[in-house]
Structures are given as C-alpha cells and as structure tokens.
C-alpha cells in the first residue's frame, strides 16, 4: 500500500479527486438538509475527508518537517492549510455533540476560510509542479 500511494500517478489521482470533492462539498453545503448526517453534503464531505487523510499521509515527511521554523517559513501556505484542516476537524467533532446554530456557524466560518486556503494551496502547488515539469523536460 505504501508503495502504491507513493507513485506520482496515484498522488495526481488523489489530488484530482480532492479538487472535485471540494467543489461537490461546496455545492451541496447550500442544501437545507446539509446539516443531516445522511445528507449528500455530509457523505461527500466525509469521503473527501478520508481522501484528505490519504493526501496528508502521502506527505507525512513534509508534515513532520513543518514544525521546524525554517521549513514552516518556506511552506507557509502548506502549514496554514494543515492548521485549517485541524480546525475543520474540530468543527466536525462539534457535530458529534449535537448540531445547533452555534456549531453550524463555527463550521461554516472555518469551512469558508478552509476553502480559500485550499484553493490557494492547490494553485501554488500546481504552479510549482508546472514550473518543475518544464525545467525537467
């Protein structure tokens, strides 16, 4: 499994699924039933969350290195993305104790910030990948 997840094509497929899942999550969040655990929003978001865990696992060495100030400074967007992921996890855990107006507000606020950070993260990584692939060609 470790070898499979380290292949560039698998990493690319996970990234594509994550981007698609992000948009599915954003679109389905507007539903009036999105607060239900059986809603399309919750099911799609939990599948997205699982893929996000796979994505993080494939980058675990960078994640371990992010605690070093020098590495964190060079990878600020990645660090911020991880912090937002942790906050999103916290906001989801609030729903375990009950869905109410306050937990929904906290979740939506974190989610909107997380979407922005993830889009910036995806664009910055795509630009780096594009520049790197053109240099090696």
Nearest to 54 by CA among 5, 121, 93, 94: 5
Per-residue pLDDT at 2: 59
Nearest to 108 by CA among 40, 39, 26: 26
Per-residue pLDDT at 1: 58
Per-residue pLDDT at 84: 95
Whole-model pTM: value is 0.78
Query: What is d(CA 88, CA 70) in angstroms, rounded to the nearest whole number?
Result: 26
Query: What is d(CA 119, CA 127) in angstroms, rounded to the nearest whole number?
Result: 12
pLDDT per 10-residue tile (average), the chain, 137 residues: 68 84 86 73 90 87 84 88 94 87 90 92 78 58
- Using alpha carbons, list the distances in angstroms from residue 28 to 25, 40, 56, 69, 100: 5, 7, 24, 38, 19
């Amino acid at each position: 499994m470790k070898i499979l997840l380290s292949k560039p094509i698998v990493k690319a497929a996970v990234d594509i699924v994550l981007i698609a899942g992000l948009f599915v999550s954003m679109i389905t969040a507007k539903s009036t039933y999105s607060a239900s655990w059986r809603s399309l929003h919750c099911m799609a978001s939990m599948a997205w969350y699982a893929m996000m865990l796979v994505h993080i696992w494939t980058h675990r060495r960078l994640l371990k290195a992010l605690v070093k100030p020098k590495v964190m400074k060079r990878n600020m967007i990645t660090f911020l993305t991880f912090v937002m992921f942790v906050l999103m996890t916290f906001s989801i855990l609030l729903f375990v104790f009950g869905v109410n107006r306050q937990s929904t507000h906290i979740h939506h606020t974190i989610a909107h910030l997380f979407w922005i950070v993830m889009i910036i993260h995806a664009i910055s990584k795509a630009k780096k990948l594009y520049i790197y692939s053109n240099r090696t060609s």
